[in-house]
Amino acid sequence: MVSQGHMQVALAEARAAAGRGEVPVGAVVVAPSGAVVARAGNRTRELNDPTAHAEILAIRMACAAAGSER
């Protein structure tokens, strides 16, 4: 279940993305325990990568943290 705290983390990432001139979207991957595993904001312009959306970046970071592509 998503808590208000998790939503605040996502909103902070969105604000940071906006500050970088990106579309203001943030994403958070949360473990079943409620711990934040990964967080990211859009970086498509910064990285010149059309796939660098917040959701994709957060999933990539979570997979790296888990040591698995799944």
Q: Which residues are catalytic?
A: 55
Q: How many Å apart are CA 41 and CA 33, to the nearest integer?
A: 23
Give φ, ψ of 45 to 5 degrees.
Answer: -75, -45
Quickly tell me which residue has 């010149």 as its tokens: 48
